[in-house]
Amino acid sequence: MKILLTGCGGQLGRELTRQLKQKGTPFAGYDIPEFDITDKAAMAAIIDRENPDVVINCGAMTNVDGCETQEAAATAINGEGPGKLAELTAERDIVLVHVSTDYVFDGKGISENGRIRPYTEADPIDPQTVYGKSKALGEKLVKENAEKYFIVRTAWLYGDGHNFVKTMLKLAENHDKLTVVADQVGSPTSTVDLARAILALIETDAYGIYHGTCEGMCSWYDFACEIFKLKGIDIDVAPVTSEEYPSKTPRPKYSVLENAGLAALGLNVFRPWRDALVDYLNWLDES
């Protein structure tokens, strides 16, 4: 099996690169500007040159606020581009893995029996932002055009690159007090776990949509407190509401995804989020 990896310079792309090398799996990694997902002819040339069995698309416009002000670019990169890639892979009988997001949902969770439960793959989507709508379009076009596809939704991702964990540690160097949003809930997810799940999925032919996040849930405030606790950093962290921490783009209040599809296949390799965080912090210390 040979893999073509797009977005290899991002957090997930870097981790997939590491794990593919470790496994000895043949692969070719591309990032912008070499691999332009808006240019179908350019993509076709690379795919034909590399002749992969699987394409894993990690490339995306992930700046949520930037998407709001650059809607055309977000639509082209996150929506129409994956559709073009799906057409190319279908024409060549190539498996396509497309990475998506919790932002395709409404950010409220599913209300049942007076309680809120996590989203499953079967729940209806209802994106509320330009970013979410562009990613939802990408999912739609992949489903319509690809013959063999895996759509993997994830959330609150961190790994080798810019992320919340590193931001908190950096801020703690120069501040003795921080305010962190406490009314947005999700599942912090390690790229290590997500990459493992993707590489396990492509060994199957169980095509479809999957959720892939670490187990358990917390708020951004809880997440920050756990980071500082594990690092032994003495800092005052104050919880605030979303309204007290205004953003250009409304953030989901509830981003918890249930890995129901992976669990049904016996492939839910995701650890509890705290366990994954411990390993990540150890990795940062060693790097």
How far lies 20's CA from each of 157, 162, 190, 200, 226, in Å?
19, 22, 17, 12, 30
What DSSP letter does each residue of 25-36 carry, written as one string? Answer: --EEEE-TTTS-
Which position among 103, 131, 149, 210 bears the catalytic label? 131
Q: Is 245 a catalytic residue?
A: no
Nearest to 55 by CA among 18, 100, 95: 95
C-beta of residue 198 within 8 angstroms of C-beta of residue 56? yes
Nearest to 129 by CA among 182, 219, 61, 223: 61
Q: How far apart are CA 282 and CA 280, in angstroms?
A: 5
Show the DSSP H helices in the chain as ranges.
11-23, 40-50, 64-69, 71-74, 81-91, 130-145, 164-174, 191-201, 220-231, 260-265, 273-286
Catalytic residues: 131
